[in-house]
A = this chain, B = another copy of it.
């Protein structure tokens, strides 16, 4: 087999994605472009990212070449279950690890949209937000939080996930018990349903890291670009360095290639044994930037530490855009590395199997 054949035929383990959800007709006809940007963009701009141009091509492929408005109307009329199955299962994805934090779709509901094996990931901020209103003290909250994570990891959940990058940023620090107690009191006093307190969020992530270490389960971090909530500076994964050093037994996955801090993410991954790097979201959002992204990640990071994911959410098209883009560009990068003598063909094929599937199977013990 050629490198391209191996890349094309290896079943994917998608180590971070979200469920598909039914959408109201107007969401599709009027603002479908919103699903292909992370920004707060008006339609005049959202319709002009290259990622949205890519999905229009996909719709044309599905429905026949037509103008944008017609394609969106046709898209709005699909039977979602069969449409999603055609798209998602067409990617040859074996297993999807599903972030339960968004959208609000149960796993067995998502199951109607794909034949892939679905394995849940627990978003820790949501756990905390569920438990906080009923808690009576930091100690009782902590017990309940730990119990909830234990129950998850004893059960079907294969990993934890944190969105601290969106809340208070990746400069996660250690705080003493008094500071945490004060933070807990402040969070309770100002409770609005959302955990967004620098000290308290840091505390949650440290606690989750200890739980993850105890279960040898990975803790996933959103890093890099994302929606407007995140500060574009504090999504840089180098801010996590002290935290990562403090939890050497916790397998940590830096999601999204830390784009645009991808070389820095590769450097951290190459430096600390417990760190892994996923290239989702940037795949497919940055389109022609995915190939350099993969190439840059391979500059320093061991090939045993890179992971495929889609970070697809809500619409099945994102699964397709991610899988196609990643397979095409991984092929190109590996072919070029082999042609230029950096790796043998055979090693390149091993790398392809690892990144697309095996590294995740081993890391998440699938």
Contact = CB atoms under 8 A, between A and B. Distances in A.
A265 B16 CA distance: 26
Interface in A210-261: 225, 227-228, 231-233, 236, 238-239, 241-242, 245, 259-260
Contacts of A242: 231
A263 interface: yes
A5 interface: no
A342 interface: yes
A76 interface: no
| Assembly stoichiometry (copies) | 3
A191 interface: no
B342 A50 contact: yes
Nearest to A45: B302
Interface string A282-305: 000111110000011011111111
Interface string A203-215: 0000000000000
Nearest to A49: B302
A44 interface: yes
Interface stretch (A85-93, A116-124, A270-278, A311-319): A270-278
A337 B44 CA distance: 21
A342 B238 contact: no
A345 to B, nearest CB: 13
Contact of A260 (B46, B53, B267, B304): B267
Contact of A53 (B271, B287, B342): B342
A41 interface: yes
Contacts of A180: none
A103 interface: no
A178 interface: no
Contact of A270 (B41, B231, B272, B296): B41
15 contacts: A38-B271, A39-B271, A45-B273, A45-B304, A46-B302, A48-B304, A49-B300, A50-B299, A225-B270, A227-B271, A228-B245, A285-B300, A286-B300, A288-B336, A288-B340
